[in-house]
């Protein structure tokens, strides 16, 4: 038995309880989990939080899981996964639109790195409606997001909304 490492990539802008559910479930199926935060990309200004802020929210929220690490990556995902000797990339699927997007990414990644597997979890029904974008919109309109994201994220969103 060799160590099984999974990569959970995403923007995490910001992390939601839905992301944490997938990360937690991955940590029970694999030996080691690297949550890979997309750093500065080609569409430079589109995130609400900086890569460092997004990573720090994740570090804080996954503190109780011994086999989970958080890293920022700035290269191609398949190159990052190879450097970390990952067994698999792990993604959550909520809806048909996710399915199609992920299928496309999957086939592109297989072309680039045939030896790297991608595996998928279905989002829990409790979180299948949850997108970072929706959370940010709700917070902007003064909605209560404390059930949807970790407490420090909720506070940060409300501070920004008040501006």
Q: For residues 56 and 113, which CB has a smaller minimum distance to a second copy in the complex?
A: 113
- Dihedral, 117, 23, 41, 51 alpha carbons, nearest 10: -150
* Contacting a second copy within 100-159 (CB under 8 A): 100, 102-108, 110-112, 117-122, 124-126, 128-131, 134, 137-138, 140-144, 147-148
Contact map string, positions 4 to 23, toward a second copy, x by CB under 8 A: x-------------------
Q: Binding to a second copy (CB under 8 A): which residues in 48-77?
A: 75-76
Nearer to a second copy, 36 or 130 (CB): 130
Q: Tell the smallest beta-carbon distance from residue 135 to a second copy (Å).
A: 9
Q: Which residues bind a second copy (CB under 8 A)?
A: 1, 3-4, 25, 28-31, 42, 75-76, 87-88, 93, 95-97, 99-100, 102-108, 110-112, 117-122, 124-126, 128-131, 134, 137-138, 140-144, 147-148
């Amino acid at each position: 038995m060799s160590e099984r490492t999974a990569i959970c990539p995403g923007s995490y802008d910001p992390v939601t309880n839905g992301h944490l559910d997938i990360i937690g479930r991955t940590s029970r199926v694999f030996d080691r989990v690297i949550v890979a935060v997309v750093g500065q990309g080609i569409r430079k200004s589109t995130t609400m939080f900086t890569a460092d802020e997004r990573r720090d929210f994740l570090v804080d929220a996954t503190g109780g899981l011994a086999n989970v690490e958080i890293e920022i990556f700035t290269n191609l995902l398949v190159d990052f996964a190879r450097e970390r000797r990952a067994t698999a990339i792990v993604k959550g699927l909520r809806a048909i639109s996710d399915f199609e997007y992920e299928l496309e990414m999957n086939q592109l990644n297989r072309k680039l790195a045939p030896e790297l597997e991608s595996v998928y979890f279905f989002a829990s029904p409790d979180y299948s409606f949850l997108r970072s974008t929706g959370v940010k919109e709700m917070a902007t309109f003064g909605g209560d997001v404390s059930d949807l994201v970790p407490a420090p994220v909720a506070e940060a969103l409300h501070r920004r909304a008040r501006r």
